[in-house]
Amino acid sequence: MMLKERIRGLDYFSVDVNIFTDAKVSKLIYKYGPLGFMSYMVLLSHIYSKGYYVAYDLDAASYLLLKFIPAKYISGKHKLQDIIKELVSLDLFDRELFKEDVFTSVEIQEIFKLATKKRKQQEIYPYWLLDVDETKEDDKKVEASEPQNKTKREIRKDRQMNDIKEHAPKRHHLTNVLIEYGYIEAHNLDSYRYDELFEEVLAKEDYAMIQKITKYIVDYEKQASEDKKVIDKFSFFKKAMFENIERLNYQPKQSITEMLEELAKSQNQKNNS
């Protein structure tokens, strides 16, 4: 299909303030550190500078990253290719279009659509993932849903609050309990790992027992002296969870307190070695 006009890129684009608590980004940073996040932002910036997609194969995308990221920070011959594949695996870029050597996503296109809504003419562009009818009707639906007795400032505030709620990371209930107990911070990058752990154990074990074990581990860590404080909290919590489950299921001779002390001691010895 011939386009009536060339797709114009953006001069700037918005970034969600909760980006570092997004589960996908957390997994990316956990696996590849700052290099993974930098690679993602370089690709995003380049895509928005062109519009809402770029038609690059894997090698071309890797060379783009090399243009902005010094080689001294990249270890391994295929590190950048691996990071790009991880971005796709995490659905930060659309998987099916990646197979066609195209980089884009629903989220990228939603931001592009919002940023260009005041342009006089918007075409039906190639590789468009959003529903065309929804794209045309979005603004009308939003306007119609707003109460007429509200001021523009109140309407903007309501939209901002709804956006925050919509994009807030969805945590497991017991992960929120860990945050409430003060075991981890709300922005902890390992929060998705706790989510997965709780889902795994609750698929087999009783909720009341898991809740009890969770509280016991947290209480133990809080009461531990400074020389027994755990550095890698997730590793300790995971190991303590499974060993507690095993001991409670098979009536252990060793007390839970003794077991937790051994875990903390071995974990700290491992971290100090």
Most confident of 41-50, 115-124, 151-160, 242-251: 41-50
pLDDT digits (tens, 9 = 90+) for 4-36: 456 788 998 989 888 988 889 999 999 999 999
155 has pLDDT over 80: no
**Which pLDDT score is estimated for 3?**
43
8 A C-beta contact, residue 133 and residue 108: no
- The domain limits of the chain are 19-134, 173-272
**Which pLDDT score is estimated for 4?**
44
Single pTM value for the model? 0.53
Distance CA 192, CA 196 (A): 6
141 has pLDDT over 70: no
Range with the poorest average pLDDT among 106-120, 127-141, 208-222 = 127-141
**Which pLDDT score is estimated for 167?**
47
